[in-house]
Structure 1
Amino acid sequence: MDQPTALAFVRRLAGKDLSLGGLEGGEIQVSGSSPMYPVGISTGEVWHYTDVGGLRGILESNSFWASSFRTMNDPGEIGYGLGIITEVWKSMEAKQPPEVVNFVAELLDPDSLLAAFEHVHLLSASRDGDSLSQWRSYAGTDGVSLGLAARSALSSDPSGFDVSAPNIWGMSWIKVAYRRKVQIARCELFLHGILRDLEGSTPPYDPAQRTAQQLQTILQIVSFKHPAFVDERELRSTVMIGGAEPPVRQRGNASVPYVPLIRLGPGNQVQRLPLTAVRYGPTATAGDIAKYRQVMVETGYGSVPLIGSEIPFR
């Protein structure tokens, strides 16, 4: 059942204090669940769309890559989410004391958030494994959608970082909210939660409290998209890195930071990805299908079902 996800920003690996564009702090644990938090899923399947090159790379490495927010198809999404929160706050701030107004203004400062977002990496998926818009936008002419068991969470892989113990903070499979009424209601709950946290406190406020709240602000922002994209039914796995530089890969002439996401078993051993199926698109030819099967067999995923799109080719 989908439910509000308990945020657990835990320093999973020992190391330097977190450094996220000014979000310095130690270990942070936010327990419990509340409607103010993004909704996560833990049942059913999630589907990641990619081309045939991506299929081979994912299966050979047993990992997905969460990429820098700058690689998003629409970087304006960040501004959209921040705009919703800021709009709601403008309707509330007149009733707040100056010290609280200043605190929230710093929390929602675009420059500060942009600096923090330099450390944010996203992996996108969908609840719909056979979506025409997703085939067209993300899979190319020879792509597939990879089904993953939502209950088997992916973890950040520390082996690719340039220090032995980076700080990794993450949250898996957040449901993106598209309806404006839902977005506004969530922002109201979120901001009222911040105001409750500040009750009884006096400036200067606890830096660790501010860190936790700005991390939550980032999660709110990445969980909002314009209503025009509602048919994507998008889910996002969000990772934030502190105290280390992530590896980079080449995309054309650009170097793109990314964070490998893997499935860890007992003793932190890397396991096979929790694939439930590989689905090929509506334009796949017999040659394409044979190519997908060959890649799956060569990478040890030959037993995973290979299924076809039900969308009629046009």
Structure 2
Amino acid sequence: MPSGLTTPDQHEPPLLYHYTNAGGLQGIIGNRELWATESNYLNDPSEISFASVELLRILEEMKRAGTEHPDRAEHAIELLKRAYVDPNSASQYQEDRAFITSFSRSDQSLTLWRLYSGRNGFSIGFDENVLQAWIGAPTPADFPQEFEATDQERLRAYNMNFHIETRVEEVSYDSARIQEVAEIIMTTPLVVGEPFADEARLRLTLRAVAGVKHHAFADEKEARLIVQAVGDFAADPSVRVAADGSLVAYRKVAIPFEAVRSITIAPAANVQRTEHALQSLMRTGGRGAWSHVEVRSFDVPFAW
């Protein structure tokens, strides 16, 4: 079995690694879907509000310094305070509500194994391009035909992904990115007499702050799948019970078989027994739909 210590092949598609426990793996493989958690229900919601708080500080400094566009600064400051700085704000527009699935560019992060996978967990490698292949199709018949699915499966995926958009964003740990967003805001002319149109454009610019975290998290090498509603007919978010007993809002995203490229077994796990269970989990009536998935071990010495 190949080791988890692999060197990326220049011909391989860009991979995203999602660290999860056995229950998470079973749900992803069994249901062919990812769960994206609403940002203010993350383990630490300040991960999301950090950039908004920094942006607010920068804009307030610009205003005090005598910017040429005080009205623009004031409008942005008011919107940030009302709908962004507090991760639990009820004033955030529905289409601005970010639902996030976290990934890493590495399947060799000891920190992430400890935090999210545990002794019997996994790191699932996804093809970044195929992961989003079932987003935005006008009808089920418009899904890419190269991905294996029955008509019923396509219809289910179409309904699940209807009126949502997704994007993969590399997380920036550099506060210079927040400064760039502030400068974009200040150089965008105010739409006089059209407050709703102006706010909509400002909100579009503010989406960029969803991909900025404090530099203390830099070793995670995080990338995020960000899921947002783009129409009035998107399905309502689902609600699940978290491990601590609290309610958590999330969105489901349907994915093709081909989106999963590899499964790495946690260090120190019983590899042979786990691999046998994985093969049972990935059987799909003899179709071999998961036969392309590489199962490998992470055999770096590691003490839990």
1:237 aligns with 2:225: yes
Relative distance call for 1:257 and 1:234 in structure 2 (3 A) is same
Give the alignment partner of residue 134 of structure 1, picking from 80, 92, 112. 112
Q: Show the counterpart of 1:89.
A: 59
Cα distance in 2 for residues equivalent to 1:136 and 1:51? 11
Relative distance call for 1:289 and 1:190 in structure 2 (3 A) is same
Check the 8 A contact 2:59/2:73 in 1, yes or no: no
Residue pairs, 1:1-314, within 5 angstroms: 44-93=14-63, 94-111=66-83, 114=89, 115-116=91-92, 119-154=97-132, 155=134, 159-160=159-160, 167-171=163-167, 173-178=168-173, 182-183=174-175, 185-198=176-189, 201-220=190-209, 222-241=210-229, 243=232, 244-252=235-243, 253-263=245-255, 271-285=256-270, 286-298=272-284, 300-314=289-303
Give the superposition deviation at 1:136. 0.5
Residue-by-residue CA offset, 1:146-181 (whole Å, 9 max, x unaligned): 1111222425556249xxxx642432x211111xxx
Give the superposition deviation at 1:283. 1.7
Given the two structures, how large is their TM-score scaled by the length of structure 2? 0.74
Check the 8 A contact 2:160/2:254 in 1, yes or no: no
Cα distance in 2 for residues equivalent to 1:176 and 1:202? 31
Check the 8 A contact 2:181/2:208 in 1, yes or no: no
Give the superposition deviation at 1:208. 3.1
Check the 8 A contact 1:52/1:292 in 2, yes or no: no
Check the 8 A contact 2:121/2:265 in 1, yes or no: yes
SS at match of 1:177: coil
The count of aligned residue pairs is: 254
Q: Show the counterpart of 1:8.
A: none
Give the superposition deviation at 1:58. 0.4
Relative distance call for 1:117 and 1:204 in structure 2 (3 A) is closer
RMSD of aligned Cα (Å): 2.6
Check the 8 A contact 1:281/1:308 in 2, yes or no: yes
Which 4+ stretches in 1 moved above 6 angstroms? none
Q: Which runs of 5+ in 2 are unaligned?
A: 1-11, 136-156
Check the 8 A contact 1:63/1:273 in 2, yes or no: no
Q: Which runs of 5+ in 1 are unaligned?
A: 1-41, 264-270
- Percent identity reads 24
Give the superposition deviation at 1:295. 1.5
Give the superposition deviation at 1:249. 2.5
